[in-house]
Structure 1
């Protein structure tokens, strides 16, 4: 059986309940990891990707305090390590699931040159956590960079470990009434999927339906109460 994602911590958390503590020492990968990252970034560029290597966050540790706050221990690491098949070195990415005032879900079809979910539909916006950045700020930044829009409210929803040793910080953003999105070059199409995931179109990946159902069940539904 293939390995499944694991929920490390479950929110929701307000922005003030999420703390990022950055370690000063960068992560030092093994030689085999370095070589695999070199090959992965080379292959990505051969596909026509404008992506460039750099520094991003990896998750060194986490805990939920007695009063329910999420504390993340982060460490600078080479960005390209997230591309290594089967071992992303605990690289941290943020996913900003985005809904409008009617509860619809923002979906975008990702460009063919991207490193993950190329040519497939995904929810909201996402990307690497920059050095010294709080992941909740990453949610807002990525939403602005990918869709040129700012949220009315945002929460952290879950910290999830993926089988390839990638960690996802998943958040939920709600847009104000009348907000208009403009996709960036990472998307070649977009759509607003119905508030009820059961009514989503066939191109919606089963993983997206499962995640939406979990987020809705957490009480962050269309009433936002």
Structure 2
């Protein structure tokens, strides 16, 4: 019995400035990113569950490159982990971000100007969630580039005024690209659900979801 053909998933502009490009990363690129994330997650400055100012503990685990994010600031050392210097953002990863911006917006000049200097890498197990929030700790309005590998998730992308409606729920699969900039740069967004068992073991990820977000801090 033959397997059913996959249902085409066209690229979509969710709101002006927010673009979903399905299947953007090839399988080899996904494998390479999974292997790199395993290296980045090790000490010094390792992956950790961030503790929020109120004492709550995020269910996702995070490691940073370039700049270290801890609520709600960026530093060059992992101040809330082991105090170690944060590994630099690899040039090849910044180049991947520029290619993502070019493909999402069809604007090579805009992509040429895109200069990400940090990456936040989040790992979601089956029970992890990301509350609705805005990426507003940067001093730059350059686009956010988001790459997904592993299990699918429901990505909730909203408006820039409140955590409530209107918002769109987008299913992000392994290999998908999501870029938000321009009028969508400071929109509220979050991950209310991960869908266990939906990712392919061929990526090298044995369950769970990796999300790599590239951003420009505007810091020096």
Instruction: Give the TM-score band, short-chain normalised.
Output: under 0.3
Greater helix content: 1
TM-score, scaled to structure 1: 0.24
Greater strand content: 1
TM-score, scaled to structure 2: 0.25
